[in-house]
Structure 1
Amino acid sequence: MDYIGWAWLFVIVVCIVIEATTMGLTTIWFGIGAIVAWITSGLGFRLEVQIFVFLVVSILCLVLTRPIAVKKLKIGKIRTNADSIIGECVKVITTINNINNEGTVKARGQIWSARSFNDEVIEKDEIVCVKEITGVRLIVERKK
């Protein structure tokens, strides 16, 4: 095996190591392309052909299979139970005032920043219902 074959093996190993450490389905496609390029190297094809095969296989794998793999493996999404707070009624801990960017509520034993849904001021100790979550802030409205 010539030095080009060793170079493809090096690329394969680097892609596998990066993929193993990131777990983000970013380099595995290039690792597959490098495997096919390594095979073409072993069959005696010129370097230009190997690079072309590497690029074509990597791009095809990336375009055709990544969306399916991301969907099936749910890569990149960390699910929390925070969404289950939506609809619950909670107590206002400090007055909610959107203009001053103030207000907190206590939900399930945790203090959350809060904003009122319709920009009204909601006083301390009132009961509000959670309408939605935006970032780390609960959007609430007075309980009717």
Structure 2
Amino acid sequence: MDWIGDHLAGVFLALAIALGIAEMFSLDLILLMLALGALVGMVSALLGAGFAVSAILAAVASVACLAVVRPPLVKRLHTGPELSLGHGKLVGQQAVVTQRITGLEAGRIKVGGEIWSARPYDDSLAIEPGATVEVWEIRGATAYVHPVPSIES
């Protein structure tokens, strides 16, 4: 026990390193918080605290890190930007009409570099080729569009 008391800072440092290495395999951030607690124990040992005080400070720091630091860190790591995949990414984009669109027959639009069949969102509208439209909804393989007002000079 005398050796541990004489090398207490080294023991806490070795514990912190071992926990840090183990964290690389678990990636759960729990062992990292315990390693931070061990570093607090190392610092207190370097400042002359005994084993009991250093162990208590390490435990308190570990629990505090687990309660305060880890939850927002995990939340931030597990959230990311919203990714729109498939046809959902076309909703809200502007397109150009390539074939006349009416409520009675589907036309064609070019959106995102692809040609899509399209119908007007409002069945009473007729949209001529060359007009700019906005994709409001995708149902199956048909885009439902609405004309974008243009500023005529």
State TM-score, norm by structure 1: 0.50
Structure 1: state its 5+ residue gaps.
Answer: 76-80, 86-144
Q: Which runs of 4+ in 1 moved over 3 A?
A: none
Deviations 1:52-102 (A, max 9, x none): 100100000100111101100119xxxxx9xx89xxxxxxxxxxxxxxxxx
Which residue number in structure 1 is paired with residue 125 of structure 2? none
Which residue number in structure 2 is paired with residue 53 of structure 1? 57
> 1 CA distance for matches of 2:30 and 2:36?
12
1:20 aligns with 2:24: yes
Which residue number in structure 1 is paired with residue 43 of structure 2? 39
Structure 2: state its 5+ residue gaps.
Answer: 87-153
SS of 1:27's equivalent in the other structure is helix
> 2 CA distance for matches of 1:4 and 1:52?
13
Which residue number in structure 1 is paired with residue 113 of structure 2? none
State TM-score, norm by structure 2: 0.47
Aligned length: 84
Which residue number in structure 2 is paired with residue 129 of structure 1? none
Residue number among 6, 16, 39 corresponding to 2:10 in the alignment: 6
Aligned-pair distance for 1:24?
A: 1.4
- TM alignment of 1:92-111, pairs within 5 A: none
Which residue number in structure 1 is paired with residue 123 of structure 2? none
> 1 CA distance for matches of 2:30 and 2:39?
16
SS of 2:30's equivalent in the other structure is coil
* Higher Cα radius of gyration: 2
| Identical counterparts, % of pairs | 24
AA aligned opposite 1:46: G
> 2 CA distance for matches of 1:36 and 1:26?
16
Which residue number in structure 2 is paired with residue 107 of structure 1? none
* CA RMSD, 1 decimal: 2.8
> 1 CA distance for matches of 2:24 and 2:55?
24
